[in-house]
Amino acid sequence: MVSVNFAAAAAALGIGASASAGIVTVSQTFYNASFAARTFEYVQLMPTAGSSSGSNWVMNGSVSATLSDLNGNGGFFSSAGQPVFRATIDDVTVASLWSEPFTFALAGPYLSESVDPASFSNLAVPAGSNPEGVLGIVLRFTLSAGDAVTISGTFETVQVVPAPGVATLLVIATGSGFGRRRRS
């Protein structure tokens, strides 16, 4: 019975529980087939349902990339006047990663290397933003000629559900043991 009582108390507590409102992800490979460095801009949008009721909304996001030199003359991947990764809500930038100036270059020919990933977590959704609006990821960067980069990113808004206090935990834990007798 102890394990059942413990499981029931843990389920009732919902410690660390959260309800995700929306998430947008991207995983895309870009190839620069030209003979000169080229600037790319890519937008991934995800409409979410609902109206932002309640409070305690936070944002989480991350980005990673792998750069590959395909023509043997080295390669680079850099910001192009704006952060490489911008998280948006209803077309308004609310967070960014790999900010200007950002550059990643390969150490030699025909290499493929991963860029150090970047992330943000538990940032408050800015006042006036609808956390259940159209979420977006905007990627903008310059890529060296004849090379490729694969970028993966995630952006989500989450409404944090406050966990019950310690007093509630004690009431549930002690209350679950009362009213039971051992039968021989």
pLDDT tens series, the chain, 184 aa: 333 333 333 333 444 444 557 899 999 999 999 999 999 999 999 998 765 556 789 999 999 999 999 999 999 999 999 999 999 999 999 999 999 999 999 989 999 999 999 999 999 999 888 888 899 999 999 999 999 999 999 999 998 876 665 546 555 666 655 555 566 6
Tell me what pLDDT residue 7 has.
35
pTM: 0.77
Task: Indicate the pairing of strand 103-105 with strand 147-160.
Answer: unpaired
The pLDDT of residue 65 is 98
Q: Cα–Cα distances in Å, from 127 out to 41, 87, 131?
A: 27, 15, 10
Q: Can you give the pLDDT at residue 13?
A: 40
Q: Phi and psi of 11, rounded to 5°?
A: -65, -40
**3-state secondary structure (DSSP) of residue 54:** coil
Domains of the chain, each with CATH number or no CATH: 1-17+163-184 (no CATH), 18-161 (2.60.120)
pLDDT of amino acid 18: 47
Which of 137, 124, 44, 40 shows the shortest CA–CA distance to 85? Answer: 137
- How confident is the model at residue 15, as a pLDDT? 41
Q: What pLDDT does residue 10 have?
A: 35
